Amino acid sequence: MATLKSIPYLAIEQALAQGKDTLQDQRVFNTNLHKREEIESILPDLQHFPPDDDQPWILLEPWLNLIMASQGLREVDVHRIRLPGSFLIQVIHASKLGLQMGRISEDDAEDLAGAFPRKTTDGSTLEDLIKTKKFLVRLDTCSLKDAIIGKGPIQSVQDLWMRLATSTRGMAGIRDLRLHDPSTPIYMYLFPWKDDMNTALEYRVYCAPPTGKIAAISQYEWHAPWYHASAAKHDQEAIANRLLENCQGLHQEIMGHPAMTEALRNRGFVFDVYEDPSTQ
């Protein structure tokens, strides 16, 4: 049984407003900038690691089969683009100015266009794929949703490298991968775009150390009212129970997956889920 805890939205609004007034990040409903002593006092029995300690690598590729299965995707639905070293050198250079200026210079754009692959790893032509289907793009490390240039489904081949070059998250991921192991191949992934995706229906599942068991589930949009806030109390509890049951089933698959490691369990991890509004 799930224990449903609803936080009054008015309290969140007040905390956010106070943050804007003081020009500081609010800390009431956020883990941002908490001191180590504060965390240790609340969780004294856990082993705590310093921020500069090596964290377990969580990349998309080892988990791709489970992610695809959970979304009902086939192998032919997801496309991989291997980014060659020549392109990576160009995009790292171009992003330094691109992230500052919010645009890519003509010279850099020409170099990026020339170095970017024309085909996926299975030989499909990117231009033909993008003309016929809608795609979401991401890297092994993260999505590119923070890109300064480009929103929504991918519009062109240029859109792929333009988003990467103007994504702080994406470029940090590229640099981290190359620093960790320069010989590691770096891929871009194209997933089918879903027009009905709604972040109000996304949840984050927190799996606490040292066992990795589910400790809590929170709506992804913590700063907004719950999607089901207007539902009757018994309906809300039923939705929460179904959500927990479904997350527990997926959690079992994650814990038994070959990519799961002892280090990941010991440090704790999170995963995100999406609620189908028609079936919960």
pLDDT digits (tens, 9 = 90+) for 58-69: 899 999 999 999
Provide the residue range defining the domain that includes 171: 60-192
Please state the pTM of the whole predicted model.
0.88
Categorize the per-residue pLDDT at 89 as very low, low, confident or very high, splitting at 50, 70 and 90.
very high
Strands 187-192 and 79-82: antiparallel
Domain boundary at 162, 177, 192, which?
Answer: 192
For the chain, first and last CA: distance in Å?
A: 16
Same domain, 68 and 182: yes
Is residue 280 scored above 70 in pLDDT? Answer: no
* Domain shared by 185 and 64, yes or no: yes
Looking at the structure, do residues 70 and 183 belong to the same domain, yes or no? yes
Is the domain of 77 the same as that of 179? yes
- Structural domain total, the chain: 3
The answer to whether residue 251 sits within a structural domain is yes
64: its two tokens? 């791709």
* DSSP secondary structure letters along 203-232: EEEEEETTTTEEEEEEES-TTS--TTTTS-
In sequence order, the 6+-apart residues with CB closer than 8 A to the CB of 67 are 60, 73
pLDDT digits over 116-154, tens only?
999 999 999 999 999 999 999 999 999 999 999 888 999
Residues 262 and 238 in one domain: yes
Joined together, the tokens standing for residue 54 give: 């090596």
Report strand pairing: 202-208 vs 187-192: unpaired
Same domain, 144 and 202: no
CB-based contacts of 114, cutoff 8 Å, min separation 6: none
Distance between CA atoms of residues 12 and 152, nearest Å: 29
Together in a domain, 201 and 276 = yes
Round the average pLDDT of the chain to a whole number and report it.
Answer: 91
- Which residues sit opposite 135 in a β-bridge? 192
78 with 168, same domain?
yes
Q: Is 46 exposed, middle or buried (0-12, 13-18, 19+ CB in 10 A)?
A: middle
| CA separation for the pair 121, 89 (Å, rounded) | 20
